[in-house]
Amino acid sequence: MDDILSLLCTCVERGKVNRKSPHPADLRDHDGADELTKKAVEMGIAPQTILQDGLIRGMHTVGERFRNKQIFVPDMLMSARAMVSGMEHLKPFYISNAIQTKGTMIIGTVKGDLHDIGKKIVAMMITGAGWNVVDLGTDVPTDKFIQALKEHPNAVVGLSALLTTTMLNMEQTVAEIKKMSSTTKVIIGGAPVTKEFALKIGADAYSPDPQGAVEFLNALPARTN
């Protein structure tokens, strides 16, 4: 059991999606996260164990390497794709509650900003950490965040912005969210965002990288969706 989970973890770390995938070159013609997760399920390994000891463990390493500038966005995206390909096989167990998500995060890039990639990577990392993610996309107006929060009242909200000229729209969104629900946790991120800015606009947290967002979420008390 440990062998297959270690292999699965390696596939996520190195971005090996499936057998057909030519990347990485030294794993050509090997099973990827897709096949290995399927096999692990067929072997009867508990879905929660596959998630925790295979996929999440792999993504944790990826997050640390990204934080330390040992890998960059292309590698991160490949790892995230490997993780998502494995998660597909675990979906039925979420529905049957054999796997419990840790909670829900609503995430989006704020109004006026079309940048998607940073937010997408964070969303993938958070999914890979065992959270349910509601991705609202880019150029998201405040009322769309509010609507999503009504549908997922215990959710944490994540706001992203890439530009110094658009991050200011975070302030209004945070204010509206807090007005509706003062206990809702809001985390912000994106290239220009700083801890000081987060404090100024009343956000609960700031993270300079995806792994920081995962750590923030994992430190929160358990919550239902």
Partner 1 sequence: MNPVIEIGITAEEIEKRRLRVQKAKRFETPDRIPVIPAIAHRFLVPKTGIRFKDYYSDPETMLRAQLLSQKWLMENIRTDAHSITGAWVGAWTDFQNTFEAGSLGCEIHFFDDDIPWVGEGWIKTDSDLRKLEKMDFIHSGINAKQLLYREAMIAVAEKYPVRFLGGEIFYPGMNPNLTHTSDGPFGIAGDLMGQVEAFEAVIERPDFLRELLHIIIDKMIEYLDHCWKVEKLPVPKDFAWTDDLAMSLSAEQYRDVVLTEELRLRNHFDGYLSMHMCGKTDHLLKIFADELRINEYQGFGYQVDLDLVSEVMGGRVVLVGNVDPMLIYSGTPEEIRQATRTVIEKLGPKRGLIIQDGSNISPGTPLENINAMMEAAELYGRYE
Q: Give the nearest distance from C-beta 193 to partner 1 in angstroms.
A: 7
Q: Give the nearest distance from C-beta 7 to partner 1 in angstroms.
A: 20
Indicate which single residue of 35, 170, 188, 197 sits in contact with partner 1 (rule: CB under 8 A). 197
Spatial distance between the Cα atoms of 159 and 138, rounded to a whole number of angstroms: 10
Is residue 69 a contact residue for partner 1 (CB under 8 A)? yes
Binding-site size for partner 1 (CB under 8 A) equals 30
Spatial distance between the Cα atoms of 155 and 122, rounded to a whole number of angstroms: 16
Spatial distance between the Cα atoms of 15 and 32, rounded to a whole number of angstroms: 9
Handedness of CA 141, 126, 84, 30 (dihedral sign): positive
Is residue 200 a contact residue for partner 1 (CB under 8 A)? yes
Helices (H), the chain: 2-14, 33-42, 47-49, 57-67, 73-95, 117-128, 142-151, 169-180, 195-201, 210-218
Spatial distance between the Cα atoms of 214 and 123, rounded to a whole number of angstroms: 10
Name residues contacting partner 1, limited to 77-116 (CB under 8 A).
77-78, 81, 112, 114, 116
Spatial distance between the Cα atoms of 1 and 164, rounded to a whole number of angstroms: 48
Is residue 23 a contact residue for partner 1 (CB under 8 A)? yes
Is residue 34 a contact residue for partner 1 (CB under 8 A)? no
Q: Give the nearest distance from C-beta 124 to partner 1 in angstroms.
A: 11
Q: Give the nearest distance from C-beta 190 to partner 1 in angstroms.
A: 11
Is residue 165 a contact residue for partner 1 (CB under 8 A)? yes
Question: What does residue 205 show for φ and ψ, rounded to 5 degrees?
Answer: -160, 160
Is residue 223 a contact residue for partner 1 (CB under 8 A)? no
Binding site for partner 1 (CB under 8 A): 15, 21-23, 69, 71-75, 77-78, 81, 112, 114, 116-117, 120, 163-165, 167-168, 191-194, 196-197, 200
